[in-house]
Structure 1
């Protein structure tokens, strides 16, 4: 009892020491609580990425609490405490600005519905199908690069959510899951142009009828939602005369996931139909016409040499 009184009197005479002891006790309690929470997360959260991120967040919260407690115990002036908090906030903002932007980007993506898993997008020059969105990253199955057309390259790309604030996001499937595509058909001069137009129009209408019917209703929703004019969704043909052939440009609407297959089908059917016209419609190839061949004069001079014995 006498020892306790002595210790109490000593702490009364030395308030700084008392603050240090209190500080250490609180620090110990915070560390114990943090370790307990981390163990519970490890035990109850089966998803590894979620468990890892949760533990990191708990660690950051613990560091902030320790810092604030340190300031409050060893800074008696509220003005200094406010200054310290301001400096801490500025430091965190500068150091973790990419992390903060990523977190803000995930919130923005969720509430504004920029894109969702399953959408095909292009962002920061990368095109692919969104397969996952978490608090920091968007995960995509890449399309293109060394692979032609809209085929998967096989690479999985993780992209920071902060990029939604840094440039345009192209969404192939939001609101209107169709795109316009086109290709050119070179028709040889002398072919039956009207027959060629009939063949191309008939094949395009029959092949694309499902896409056209589905896109009409979707496009109406887009027109009602946005300030945009109505558009032609039926296949259209534009003809242009060139130096080598008559160029048919076929423009049509197609499901964004079936662009390559549809183009293959149209080319195959049109090619077979042209072959059945018995030469009335012929696909052209690059040709060169020589207008005039210049005359070349060759002069041969024969010199006689006297032979001397």
Structure 2
């Protein structure tokens, strides 16, 4: 076979040392050019998105050149590239399966636009904001875990790009950067329910109008792009009668990065307005109230007769 003959000639050639040095010189030169080009882009490109993509593209192109040079030196000709790659792939597929999947995953992420730096995603059960994507790993600033709601935990997590092929990828910001959120408000029986409904809906409309207006156009685009039914983006209120109280469930749309602060502001403002109703509306709590305690009568005369 021509490939094996080329390999034999390559190893038995008297100028083997010279060939190795030339090969290493080319590899080092390419790495230097990659580093210099990335540094130049970092200084001269001001758009962060363009700068990030350009740096990654230069890195990938440099690696491809190294692969081509390596194949050329081992086979003696670029025309044997396909055969050489087939033999190499057959030998290392099992041992380097995760590496191959990670590299394939990086191309899949970039070309299909599964997610990009700045997106909030959940991958392999880990939720966070994407801060970097390279040829092997996706780097995220983790949110959640031991901290409540969508706050940063402070940990930077690196996940293999191969996970995009192994399970679902939840993207909070792609196409539609809003999410629906909700919370329950227990209202005591006997309260003015109409007044309570008015307070909750009024506060929600006042505080969420900006999110509603911003989300309308985005949701229309989602409906047009995907096979999905239209949805209500205005705040909605559902009432449920329970054994202990009347439960108000407020559902609303909000920016995916502002869930916690929005819920805090809504609760705070609704609580203030309920306090101003002079007990017409009272919040319920899981406490026990004892009413109509029976009167206990003690016959002291009868007890006295027995003692005598």
TM-score where L is the length of structure 2: 0.76
Contact 1:244 1:287 in 2 (8 A): no
In terms of mean alpha carbon deviation, does 35-44 or 211-220 score higher?
35-44
What is the alpha-carbon distance in structure 2 between the residues aligned to residue 151 and residue 260 of structure 1? Answer: 8
More off after superposition, 241-250 vs 282-291: 282-291
Query: Is the CA contact (8 Å cut-off) linking 1:185 and 1:249 kept in structure 2?
Result: yes
Is 2:154 the counterpart of 1:172? no
Residue of structure 1 equivalent to 2:149: 149
Q: Partner residue of 2:20?
A: 31
Offset of residue 63 of structure 1? 6.6
Secondary structure of 2:170's match?
strand
Q: Which residue of 2 aligns with 1:107?
A: 107
For the pair 1:239 / 2:228, whether they are aligned, the reply is: no
Written as runs of structure 1 = structure 2, the 5 A alignment for 1:55-134 is: 68=75, 88-134=88-134
Unpaired runs of 5+ residues, structure 2, are 40-54, 77-82, 295-308
Structure 2: how far apart are the matches of 1:219 and 1:121? 19
* Equivalent residues of 2:23, 2:70 under 8 A apart: no
Tell me the alpha carbon deviations over residues 224-249 of structure 1, each in whole angstroms, 9 at most, x when there is no partner: 00000000000001001111111000
| Aligned-partner Cα distance in 1 for 2:222–2:59 | 41
1:38, CA displacement in angstroms?
3.3
Q: 1:100 to 1:30 in 2, by over 3 A?
A: farther
Moved more, 171-180 or 152-161: 152-161
Rounded Cα–Cα distance in structure 1 between residues aligned with 2:21 and 2:103: 28
Cα distance change of structure 1 residues 94 and 147 upon mapping to structure 2, 3 Å threshold: same
In 2, the alpha carbon distance for the partners of 1:22 and 1:195 equals 89
Q: 1:58 to 1:230 in 2, by over 3 A?
A: closer
| Distance change (3 Å), C-alpha of 1:52 and 1:218 | closer
* In 2, Cα distance between equivalents of 1:144 and 1:230: 30
What is the root-mean-square deviation in Å for CA atoms of aligned residues? 3.1
Question: Could you tell me whether the CA contact under 8 Å between 2:30 and 2:66 is conserved in 1?
Answer: no
Residue in 2 aligned with 1:263? 263
1:86-126 per-residue CA deviation (whole Å, 9 max, x = no partner) reads: 65432211111111111111111111110011110000011
Contact 1:34 1:59 in 2 (8 A): no
Q: Is the CA contact 1:27–1:66 (under 8 Å) kept in the aligned structure 2?
A: no
**What CA distance in whole angstroms lies between the structure 1 residues aligned with 2:177 and 2:282?**
35
* 1:197 aligned counterpart, secondary structure: helix
Residue aligned with 2:234, SS? coil
Q: Which runs of 5 or more residues in structure 1 are unaligned?
A: 1-15, 70-81, 295-309
